[in-house]
Amino acid sequence: MSIRFTGNARRGIVAMAVVAGLALGAAGCGGGGDGEDKKPNSSASASKGDGSQPSAQEGQSETPLAELKGTEGLLLQITSAARDAGGFITVSGNLKNDGAKSVVIPSQMSGDETEVIKHGPSLGGATLVDSKGKKRYYVLRDTDGRPLTTTGFGTLDAGQNLPVFMQFPAPPAETADVTLQIPTFSSGTIKISG
């Protein structure tokens, strides 16, 4: 056997192992269950820029958990941070223009990762910080690299309100408080429910 053949065989075996691992991971993330859940499946990712507005988020409280102030009168009110059985946290809220004029949503909110930026304006730059566990959690992405957040931002008119959401990996169950950080906004501590 030549060295060239051994190297090619090794690369092939590694590639097969990676593909098998990805297939098992995808199968583990699939639905399944006992069929008692009769709710229709909904996409975790918001619009792909097709012009549709996201719907109001479920389970939002009237009093915000936190208010993050942004540039030019933007205000992000976090209304819920719910831990789900699937091992992730959904943070929901409203992005509001408290200013007197229309504001272009800052592109910095998408973060600086090329994979996230190429899918358009989003809240992909958001992070949750667990100070006790000394960990930072980034927005989840789907298999195509799209951030699991509200996407397709453009301009907010004065007084306009836009429902938003972000999904993160869940910190350990004993972690109840985390800090939400979004580029160009102040940070705020939120309490996780569930």
The pLDDT, as a whole number, for residue 135 is 95
Mean pLDDT, rounded, for 178-189: 95
CA distance 24 to 22: 5
Q: 6: Cβ–Cβ under 8 A, 6 or more apart, which residues? A: none
Does the domain made of 66-191 have the CATH classification 1.20.120? no
Cβ atoms of residues 133 and 93 within 8 Å: no
pLDDT above 90 (res 56):
no
Return the domain boundaries, the chain.
1-28, 66-191
* Average pLDDT value over all residues in the chain: 79
The pLDDT, as a whole number, for residue 85 is 87
For the stretch 79-114, pLDDT in tens is: 999 999 889 999 999 999 998 999 999 999 999 888
Cβ atoms of residues 150 and 122 within 8 Å: yes
Mean pLDDT, rounded, for 69-85: 93
The pLDDT, as a whole number, for residue 63 is 85
CB atoms < 10 A from the CB of 176, how many? 13
pLDDT band at residue 7 under the 50/70/90 scheme: low
